[in-house]
C-alpha cells in the first residue's frame, strides 16, 4: 500500500539545477572489476583521517604483522571512524604522507606492505536482531562505516535512535547526479540484494515507518535491479525514479524531490523525521553486520582518458596511479580529478592512496577540461539565481564577497550555499563564483573566531582590572583597620567582622569567576553559529568546505572537531 502511494504521489522539485553532459556511458559498459592483491610487495597507504570528525587512534606499531580486516586505528569517540588493514602484511611506517585532499597537505597515515597471502583476520556475522541496537552501532563504529557518497560522515552517529527526533522516513540516495561518476549505478545493478540487506539493518536501527530509494531516470537498469531486490524484502522499500537534474543527489535536494519537505536551514534532516544515506553505505553496513567485514575496499569509477574506463572494487590504500594504470591510463604528465567535474578537485599528486571518500577518478584533466576564458564583469543576468538549487541570489553574494561585505553575505544566506557549482556552470562571464563563496565563508568563520578570542581577552582584562581595584580596596581597608587597631583596644573585637568581610569578598570573587566561566562556556557554545546543530550532511559539507579552504591556505584543517 505504501509502495503504491509512492508510485502515485507526484514528485516535488527544487529551484533551478542544471543539465550538464552525462558522460556516464563510458564507464558503465563493463561490470565492476574486483582487484585482488597478489603482489607480496604491494604497498598500501591508509590515512587516519578518512572521515569527518576526530582522527582515528592508532593501535599498531611499525613492524607489526597484521591480518586482512584487522583494526589498525580505532574511532576516537563517537565522531570518528576506524581504519582497517585492506590485506595481510606488515606495518612499515606511520608518518605524514600526501593524501587525496584539496589542500595538498600531508596527513598522518599508516603504510602497510602486503605479504601476498591476503589472509583474513577472524571475523563473523552478527545476528543484529538478537543483540541490542547499541551493540550493532558499536560494530558500525568499529567497522569504519562512513557515508560513501563523498561526505564520509560516521554512519553510526546517524543511525542512533533519538527520542527527540524520531526518524519516520529513511531515504537511500542512488541519484548519483554528478557527470562521469557511475560507481553507485554499477553497485545497484550488480549488488542490489546486498544493498537491500543493508537497508533492512538501517531501517531496523532507526525504526522508520517508510523507506524510499531515489534513483535518477538515467539509470533504468539500476532502478530495475533495486526494484526486483526490494520486492523480495520483508520490509516495504519504494524505489522512486527521479528526473535527471544536477544536483538531485544533494541530500537536501533529494529530500525535497521525494517528500516535498525541506530540511530546515542549519538543522539536521532528522528534525523533519528524515535520514538519508548513500546506497553504497547501505552495502557496507550489510557486509559488516552480516559478514563481519569492515570497510576495506570501495568501488571507484575510473574514467576520462583511460583505455578501460569502468568501475573497480579497490582495496583502500592502493595508490591512485596504480589503479589508473590498471585501467589503462597515464600516470605521469597528467592530472586527475577526484569526484565529478562539478564538485571535484584536482588531486595534489597522482600517487595518493584510494580513500573512503573517493568515488571517482577522472584521468586527463588538462585535456578534458580546458581552462575557462578569463572572467568578465558580472552583467547581473541572474542566470545563476535561476540555476541555484537553494534559491540564493549568487550575483548578490558575489558582489558582497568581492567587496568583503561579509555581514551582507551572511544576511543573504551565504551559509546555505552547498557549493554545487550550478551558478558557475551557467555564468556567461565565467566568474568562479563558488571560489568567492568559499573565500567569504572562510573569512567569516575566521572573523567569528577572532571576535570570540577578543571577547575572552577583554573579559580577562576586565576581571584583572576588577581584581586590582578590589585588592587596592582591601589593602586600604586593612591599613585603616590596622590604624584603628593600634589606637583602640577593641581591635580584637572587630577581627571577627573583618574576617566575615574577607569571606564575603572571597565568595564574591568565586561567584564572579564562576560567572566568567559560564560566560566563556556560553560564548564557546554560541560562536560557531553556522556550523553547529546542522545535519550530518551539512557537517560533512562543512568538512569539505574546510578542506577546500585549507587548500587555499585560509584556515587550519578540520576545525569540525570542535563542532561535534
Partner 1 sequence: MNRSPYITQAPSVTTIMLKVLLALLPGIAAYVWIFGGGILVTLTLASITALASEAILLKWRDRPIKPFLMDGSALVTAWLLALALPPLAPWWLVVVGTLFAIVIAKQLYGGLGYNPFNPAMIGYAVLLISFPAIMTKWPAPLLLAQTPLGFSDQLHFIFAGALPNGVLVDAITSATPLDYLKTQLGLHHQVQAITQAPIFGVLGGKGGEWVTGAYLLGGLYLIQQRIISWHLPSAFLAALALMAGVFYLLDPAHFANPAFHLLSGATMLCAFFIITDPISGPTTPLGKLIFAAGIGILTYLIRVYGGYPDGVAFSVLLFNIAVPLIDAYTQPRVYGHAK
Binding region for partner 1 (CB under 8 A): 14-15, 18, 20-21, 102, 179, 252, 256, 262-267, 337, 339, 341-346, 365, 368-369, 371-374, 376-383, 385, 389-393, 395-396, 412-413, 416, 421, 424-430, 432, 434-435, 551
Q: Residue 263 or 295: which CB sits closer to partner 1?
A: 263
User: Looking at beta carbons only, is 130 or 333 nearer to partner 1?
Assistant: 333
Judged by beta carbon, residue 236 or residue 272, the one nearer partner 1 is 272
Q: Tell me how far, at minimum, the Cβ of 9 lies from partner 1, in Å.
A: 21
Query: How far is it, in rounded angstroms, from Cα 462 to Cα 514?
Result: 15
Please, which residue, 220 or 553, has the CB nearer to partner 1?
Answer: 553
The residue (of 88 and 269) whose beta carbon lies closer to partner 1 is 269
* Minimal distance, residue 11 CB to partner 1, in Å: 16
- Shorter beta-carbon distance to partner 1: residue 219 or 256: 256
The C-alpha cell of 13 is what?
Answer: 522539485
Least distance to partner 1, CB of residue 164, Å: 19
Q: Between residues 178 and 184, which has the closer beta carbon with respect to partner 1?
A: 178
Instruction: With H, G, I as helix, E, B as strand and everything else as coil, classify residue 11.
Output: coil
φ/ψ of residue 459, rounded to 5: -60, -45
Q: Using alpha carbons, select from 224, 227, 246, 242 the residue that is nearest to residue 180.
A: 246
CB of 70 to partner 1, least distance (A): 36
Burial of 339 (0-12, 13-18, 19+ CB in 10 A): buried
Query: How do strand 345-346 and strand 336-338 relate by DSSP bridges?
Result: antiparallel
CB 161 within 8 A of CB 134: no
Q: How far is the CB of 252 from partner 1 (least distance, A)?
A: 7
Tell the smallest beta-carbon distance from residue 527 to partner 1 (Å): 22
In whole angstroms, give the CA distance from residue 296 to residue 44.
11
Q: Which is nearer to partner 1, 392 or 540 (CB)?
A: 392
CB of 131 to partner 1, least distance (A): 37
Shortest distance in whole angstroms from residue 512 CB to partner 1: 40
Q: Is the separation of the CB atoms in 133 and 126 below 8 Å?
A: no
CA distance 297 to 310: 16
The CA–CA distances, whole Å, from 80 to 110, 145, 284, 456, 561 equal 17, 10, 17, 30, 9
Q: Which of 284, 285, 279, 316 is nearest to 300 (CA)?
A: 316
Distance of CA 218 to the CA centre of its chain: 26
Q: Smallest distance from the beta carbon of 345 to partner 1, in angstroms? A: 6
- DSSP secondary structure letter of residue 198: H
CA distances from 195 to 150, 186, 370 (A): 17, 12, 38
- For 271-321, where are the E strands, in sequence order? 274-278, 297-304, 310-315
- Least separation in angstroms between residue 428's CB and partner 1 is 5
User: Which of 357, 150, 333, 112 is closest to 250 using CA atoms?
Assistant: 150
Nearest to 560 by CA among 532, 525, 521: 532
Q: Give the nearer residue to partner 1 in terms of CB position, either 377 or 497.
A: 377
Classify each residue of 290-326 as buried b or exposed e, where b means 16 or more C-beta atoms within 10 Å of its C-beta.
Answer: bebbbbbbbbbbbbbbbeebbbbbbbbbbbbbbbbeb
Decide whether 128 or 412 has the Cβ nearer to partner 1: 412
CB of 476 to partner 1, least distance (A): 58
N- to C-terminal Cα separation, the chain: 40
| Residues 216 and 61: beta-carbon distance below 8 Å | no
Residue 157 in grid coordinates = 552517529
Cα–Cα distance measured from residue 158 to residue 135, given in angstroms and rounded to the nearest whole number: 15
Q: For residues 240 and 538, which CB has a smaller minimum distance to partner 1 in the complex?
A: 538
Amino acid at each position: 500500500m505504501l509502495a503504491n502511494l509512492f508510485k502515485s504521489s507526484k514528485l516535488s522539485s527544487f529551484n533551478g539545477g542544471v543539465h550538464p553532459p552525462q558522460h556516464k556511458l563510458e564507464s558503465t559498459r563493463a561490470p565492476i572489476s574486483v582487484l585482488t592483491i597478489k603482489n607480496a610487495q604491494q604497498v598500501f597507504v591508509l590515512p587516519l583521517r578518512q572521515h569527518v570528525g576526530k582522527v582515528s587512534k592508532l593501535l599498531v606499531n611499525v613492524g607489526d604483522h597484521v591480518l586482512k580486516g584487522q583494526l589498525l586505528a580505532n574511532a576516537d569517540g563517537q565522531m570518528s571512524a576506524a581504519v582497517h588493514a585492506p590485506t595481510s602484511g606488515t606495518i612499515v611506517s606511520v608518518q605524514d604522507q600526501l593524501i587525496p585532499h584539496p589542500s595538498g597537505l600531508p596527513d598522518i597515515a599508516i603504510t602497510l606492505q602486503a605479504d601476498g597471502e591476503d589472509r583474513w583476520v577472524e571475523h563473523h556475522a552478527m545476528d543484529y536482531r538478537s543483540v541490542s541496537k547499541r551493540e550493532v552501532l558499536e560494530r558500525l563504529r568499529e567497522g569504519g562505516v562512513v557515508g560513501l557518497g563523498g561526505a564520509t560522515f560516521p554512519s553510526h552517529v546517524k543511525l542512533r535512535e533519538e527520542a527527540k527526533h524520531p526518524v519516520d522516513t529513511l531515504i537511500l540516495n542512488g541519484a548519483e547526479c554528478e557527470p562521469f561518476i557511475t560507481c553507485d549505478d554499477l553497485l545497484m545493478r550488480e549488488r542490489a540484494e546486498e544493498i537491500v540487506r543493508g537497508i533492512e539493518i538501517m531501517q531496523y536501527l532507526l525504526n522508520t515507518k517508510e523507506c524510499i530509494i531515489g534513483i535518477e531516470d538515467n539509470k533504468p537498469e539500476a532502478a530495475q535491479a533495486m526494484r526486483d531486490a526490494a520486492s523480495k524484502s520483508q520490509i516495504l522499500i519504494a524505489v522512486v525514479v527521479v528526473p535527471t537534474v544536477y544536483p538531485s543527489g544533494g541530500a537536501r535536494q533529494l529530500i525535497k524531490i521525494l517528500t516535498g519537505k525541506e530540511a530546515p536551514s542549519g538543522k539536521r534532516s532528522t528534525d523533519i523525521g528524515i535520514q538519508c544515506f548513500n546506497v553504497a553505505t547501505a552495502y557496507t553496513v550489510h557486509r559488516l553486520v552480516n559478514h563481519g567485514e569492515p570497510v576495506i575496499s570501495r568501488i571507484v569509477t575510473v574514467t576520462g582518458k583511460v583505455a578501460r574506463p569502468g568501475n573497480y572494487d579497490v582495496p583502500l590504500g592502493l595508490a591512485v596511479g596504480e589503479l589508473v594504470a590498471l585501467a589503462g591510463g597515464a600516470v605521469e604528465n597528467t592530472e586527475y580529478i577526484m569526484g565529478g567535474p562539478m564538485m571535484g578537485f584536482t588531486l595534489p599528486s597522482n600517487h595518493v592512496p584510494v580513500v573512503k571518500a573517493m568515488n571517482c577518478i577522472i584521468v586527463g584533466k588538462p585535456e578534458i577540461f580546458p581552462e575557462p576564458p578569463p572572467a568578465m564583469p558580472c552583467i547581473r543576468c541572474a542566470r545563476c539565481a535561476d540555476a541555484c538549487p537553494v534559491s540564493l541570489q549568487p550575483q548578490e553574494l558575489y558582489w558582497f564577497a568581492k567587496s568583503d561585505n561579509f555581514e551582507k553575505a551572511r544576511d543573504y544566506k551565504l551559509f546555505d550555499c552547498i557549493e554545487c557549482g550550478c551558478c558557475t556552470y551557467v555564468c556567461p562571464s565565467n566568474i568562479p563564483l563558488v571560489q568567492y563563496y568559499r573565500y567569504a565563508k572562510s573569512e567569516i568563520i575566521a572573523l567569528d573566531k577572532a571576535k570570540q578570542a577578543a571577547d575572552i581577552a577583554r573579559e580577562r582584562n576586565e576581571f584583572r582590572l576588577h581584581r586590582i581595584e578590589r585588592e587596592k580596596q582591601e589593602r586600604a581597608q586593612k591599613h585603616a583597620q590596622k590604624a584603628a587597631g593600634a589606637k583602640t583596644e577593641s581591635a580584637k573585637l572587630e577581627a571577627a567582622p573583618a574576617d566575615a568581610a574577607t569571606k564575603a569578598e572571597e565568595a564574591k570573587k568565586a561567584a564572579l569567576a564562576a560567572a566568567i566561566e559560564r560566560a566563556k562556556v556560553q560564548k564557546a557554545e554560541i560562536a560557531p553559529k553556522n556550523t553547529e546543530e546542522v545535519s550530518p550532511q551539512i557537517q560533512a559539507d562543512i568538512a569539505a568546505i574546510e578542506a577546500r579552504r585549507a587548500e587555499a591556505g585560509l584556515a587550519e584543517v578540520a576545525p569540525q572537531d570542535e563542532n561535534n
